[in-house]
């Protein structure tokens, strides 16, 4: 296999007549394209702007369907750089800027779910209306999703939190049932991943909490406090504000977990 180039004109193929390579790489990463991206080379400054172009190199040739997918990615590309918190010269996040300029209020969110039973999700606003920004799925040991009851083979429950707005994550906690804490099975574990749809090399799949033995949390509350703010911009394409909680558990064990998320919105 040899590297293959796909060329697009900045003025005619990109909707805003501008390209941002960091965003474009992330958009390709979450598309249906399976061939690995090699690099992107954008050439600007021609006497006639119509000649400015963007070469997208892949490790091998794309299939016809993948070429169509790439055309779609380019046609939808807005040319906007990924949003990041401002940083000081030594790389530390400037927290206050995003709180003052973007978010307006502290709004804790409570979400109740049950392992090995997606039907028991409780995620409502004060008026009793479903927020519709949380999904729960269950999986077998071989990785197959279980799409309907019974969930007796479920050993992993995955909860995705993805509101359709910008928010800033401060921290939170998970109430652990007393029937789990102090246990000795070593089968209960919790994981938290930020922006799971984007590979780590493009700034996603952030390890917010690695596998933590839930049974060993003796006081019954698993606290997540970042001591700072993680600003997360919503994107229906890139899912850049999705937070994923993964709970590994004994097969079919259905236990109630209460998630308390501390956010600015």
Domain ranges of the chain: 4-76, 95-264
Q: Is the pLDDT assigned to residue 221 strictly greater than 90?
A: no
Sign of the C-alpha dihedral, residues 156, 30, 172, 163?
negative
What value, to the nearest 5°, has the Cα angle with vertex 131 and ends 204 and 221?
65
* pLDDT tens digits, one per residue of 111-123: 999 999 999 999 9
pLDDT at 109 (0 to 100): 92
Q: Is the pLDDT assigned to residue 70 strictly greater than 70?
A: yes
Confidence class for position 223, pLDDT limits 50, 70, 90: low
Q: Is 235 exposed, middle or buried (0-12, 13-18, 19+ CB in 10 A)?
A: buried
Stretch 231-257: mean pLDDT: 92
Reference 167, options 102, 81, 80; nearest CA is 102
Confidence class for position 102, pLDDT limits 50, 70, 90: low
Give phi and psi for 25, each to the nearest 5.
Answer: -60, -45
Rg of the chain (C-alpha set): 22
Give the whole-angstrom CA distance, residue 71 versus residue 83.
24
Tell me the CATH architecture of domain 4-76: 2-Layer Sandwich (3.30)
Q: Is the pLDDT assigned to residue 34 strictly greater than 80?
A: yes
Tokens of 232: 């997360």
| Fold category of 95-264 in CATH | Jelly Rolls (2.60.120)
pLDDT at 125 (0 to 100): 92
pLDDT at 83 (0 to 100): 57
Stretch 152-156: mean pLDDT: 98
Q: Is the pLDDT assigned to residue 96 strictly greater than 50?
A: no
User: Greater confidence, 248 or 29?
Assistant: 248
pLDDT at 9 (0 to 100): 96
Q: Is 250 exposed, middle or buried (0-12, 13-18, 19+ CB in 10 A)?
A: middle
Distances (CA, A) of 205 to 46, 161, 184, 189, 226: 38, 14, 30, 18, 17
Q: DSSP assignment, residue 190?
A: E
Domain 4-76 matches domain 95-264 at the CATH topology level: no
- Across the chain, mean pLDDT equals 87
Asked if 121 and 259 count as a contact pair (C-beta separation under 8 A), the reply is: no
Buried b (16+ CB within 10 A) or exposed e, 122-139: ebeeeeeeeeebbebebb
């Amino acid at each position: 296999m040899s590297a293959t180039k796909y060329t697009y004109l900045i003025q005619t193929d990109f909707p805003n007549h501008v390209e941002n390579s960091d965003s474009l790489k992330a958009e390709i990463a979450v598309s249906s394209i399976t061939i690995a991206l090699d690099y992107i080379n954008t050439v600007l400054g021609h006497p006639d702007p119509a000649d400015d172009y963007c070469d997208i190199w892949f490790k091998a040739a794309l299939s016809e369907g993948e070429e169509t997918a790439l055309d779609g990615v380019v046609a939808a590309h807005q040319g906007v750089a990924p949003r990041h918190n401002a940083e000081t010269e030594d790389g530390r996040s400037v927290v206050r800027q995003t709180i003052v300029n973007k978010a307006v209020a502290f709004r804790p969110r409570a979400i109740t779910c049950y392992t090995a039973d997606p039907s028991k999700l409780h995620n409502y606003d004060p008026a009793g209306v479903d927020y519709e920004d949380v999904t729960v799925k269950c999986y077998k040991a071989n990785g197959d999703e279980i799409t309907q009851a019974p969930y007796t083979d479920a050993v992993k429950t995955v909860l995705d939190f993805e509101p359709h707005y910008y928010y800033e994550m401060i921290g939170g906690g998970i109430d652990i049932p007393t029937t789990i804490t102090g246990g000795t099975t070593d089968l209960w574990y919790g994981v938290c991943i930020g922006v799971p749809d984007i590979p780590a090399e493009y700034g996603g799949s952030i390890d917010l909490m690695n596998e933590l033995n839930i049974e060993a949390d003796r006081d019954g509350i698993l606290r997540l406090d970042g001591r700072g703010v993680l600003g997360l911009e919503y994107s229906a394409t890139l899912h850049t504000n999705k937070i994923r909680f993964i709970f590994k558990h004994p097969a079919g064990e259905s236990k109630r977990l209460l998630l308390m998320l501390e956010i600015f919105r």
